[in-house]
Amino acid sequence: MHATPKGTGAKRVLIVDDEAIVLTVLRDFFASFRHGYAYEITTAESASEAFQILRREPFDLILLDVIIPAAAGRWLSESNLGFSLLARLRDLGVTAPVLVMTGGGSSAKEAEALSAGAAGFLFKPVGLRDLDQTVTRALRSASGGISASIACTTSIRRWSGPTPE
């Protein structure tokens, strides 16, 4: 688990993803947002680590990868463990909006996430502007600014340069 320094008026965000580069990019994205408050970022690299963190700490927003290991370096046969964690969040009393992310998205995964209670669905690689808008909508929804039943879905496709031959 890694956390940024705590500040006053900060929004607490938990990012659950097993890829270090994704955690770094998302942390940098949140540092660049200008929403009138800072973001305190905590990261987890597995379902069990996220579960332990959520049992003891409240968050304002959760970003959850669909495909994560059960524990550090330990994968289960269930490939979409993020959905299992999403289903258990409400059992823990977690009320924060959850944005589900995946690199191998499909309309079926998106529908599953939204029906399981996700506030939104993001396709990786996640772009700064789209994440900014999706986070804003999710936090506004959680605070009653817009209907909580409105789910946001963002499909991000970014050109990443020429394919190596």
Per-residue pLDDT tens digits for 112-147: 888 888 999 998 888 899 899 999 999 988 876 433
Q: Where are the domains of the chain?
A: 6-154
Report how far residue 35's alpha carbon sits from residue 37's, in angstroms, rounded to the nearest whole number. 6
| Residues above pLDDT 70, as percent of the chain | 76
The pTM of the whole model exceeds 0.95: no
Pairing of strands 2-3, 39-44: antiparallel
Is residue 156 pLDDT above 50, yes or no? Answer: no
| Angle at which helices 128-142 and 20-32 cross, to 10° | 70
- Using CB atoms within 10 Å of the CB of residue 25, give its burial: 0 to 12 exposed, 13 to 18 middle, 19+ buried: middle
CATH 3.40.50.2300 is the classification of domain 6-154: yes
Is residue 45 pLDDT above 60, yes or no? Answer: yes
Across the chain, mean pLDDT equals 80
The reported pLDDT for the residue numbered 108 is 81
The C-alpha torsion from 13 through 19 and 21 to 24, rounded to 10°, is 20
